[in-house]
């Protein structure tokens, strides 16, 4: 089957750097996406890695290693507003839809 595993919770302080890891098992691979969700609201797209390496978008970066079936989301210069749930996602076996990990709750304190 297909699955994506990520830690359930991460805590950090303002200004710090935090890394959220994601390991996956899929029979076919189309890339790894990351989404942010605040308080059960609309999940919003953060980044996508189709190839190995690092993608940077402002304070957020995402990394993928296909040989290790592993990726991570790196958040720098943490702010209180970054407190949210973060989900990694990959395409299902049929290639038709994204399947999501269970999410990592990030709590940023002052």
| Closest to another protein by CB, 58 or 95 | 95
Does 41 bind another protein (CB under 8 A)? Our answer is yes
66-85: contacts with another protein (CB under 8 A): none
Sign, CA dihedral 95-98-104-108, equals positive
Q: Say if residues 105 and 10 touch (Cβ distance below 8 Å).
A: yes
Rg from Cα positions in the chain: 13
Closest approach of Cβ 54 to another protein, in Å? Answer: 16
Residues that bind another protein (CB under 8 A): 30-33, 40-45, 48, 50, 87, 89, 91-92, 94-103
């Amino acid at each position: 089957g297909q699955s994506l595993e990520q830690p359930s919770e991460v805590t950090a302080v303002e200004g710090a750097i935090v890394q959220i890891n994601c390991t996956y098992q899929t029979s076919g691979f189309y890339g790894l996406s990351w989404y942010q969700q605040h308080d059960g609201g609309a999940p919003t797209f953060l980044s996508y890695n189709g190839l190995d390496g690092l993608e940077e978008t402002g304070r957020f970066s995402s990394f993928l290693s296909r040989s290790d079936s592993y990726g991570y989301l790196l958040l720098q210069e943490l702010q209180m507003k970054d407190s949210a749930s973060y989900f990694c996602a990959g395409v299902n076996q049929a290639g038709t839809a994204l399947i999501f990990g269970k999410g990592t709750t990030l709590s940023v304190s002052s």
